[in-house]
Amino acid sequence: MNSIFRGDLGSPAGRRLAWLDSLLVDHGIFRLAWTNFAAVVPGRLYRANHPTPGRLARLTERYGLRTVINLRGEARNGSDALSREAAHRLGLTFIDLPLESRGVPQRARILRLMEIYGAMAEPALIHCKSGADRTGLAAGIFLLAEGRPVEEALAQLSLRFGHVRQARAGVLDAFFLLYRAEGRRPFAEWVRNDYDEEALRRDFRANRLASFVTERVLARE
């Protein structure tokens, strides 16, 4: 990942560089006004794009957040460093669980995410960079793990959040649709015993133009 941040938040110059990296290199300037925030299950799970420290503080105060799940993984950029520092200052549990936005969902990571959901302190906030694809997948997984209908999970992957299912990120929709077609048992059991990653990878086809727009023009991860 491109970054001009060098890991230093302890000096004024290092902190300025972190903010420049977050706002300009990581496109955080667009996230100052566009939060992509929504409740997945009110009082339990919320979703957003990568929050600034100030927004994380406001969300924590308003919704009583206790956990942050970072679906980007350890990005080692300015946005990452600033949000980790803010979470620590606010007393939030900070968990890294990297997901892919354009790859076939991996069984091990899905099961690990459900373990996190089962053990975490609620309410929690999940976020990726834009809050569209990986966040939608994680939100849908939470709902399915709770026994909710597939249609509710699919609604978390919608244009309202900036998700374009015709692009390569549409493989996430295909994952939920596969469960709807095959899921005769609870979601966790299906993932553990029946989910065929290779078949989904083989069968899914994305629209090249839609993929170009989301990945090159909109700079999605």
Q: In 10 A of CB 39, how many CB atoms?
A: 13
d(C-alpha 212, C-alpha 207), whole Å: 9
Q: In 10 A of CB 142, how many CB atoms?
A: 24
The pLDDT of residue 209:
65
Alpha helices in the chain (DSSP H): 12-20, 28-31, 53-63, 78-90, 107-119, 134-145, 150-155, 170-182, 187-193, 197-203, 208-212
pTM for this entry: 0.91
Extract the residue ranges of the chain whose pLDDT is less than 70. Answer: 1, 208-221
- Look at the block and give the residue holding tokens 């699919």: 154
Q: Can you give the residue ranges of every domain in the chain?
A: 12-217
The CATH classification number of 12-217 equals 3.90.190.10
Q: 81 with 1: CB under 8 angstroms?
A: no
Q: 150 with 183: CB under 8 angstroms?
A: yes
* Pairing assessment for the beta strands 67-70 and 93-96 based on DSSP bridges: parallel
Look up residue 28 and give its two tokens: 């955080």
d(C-alpha 178, C-alpha 99), whole Å: 19
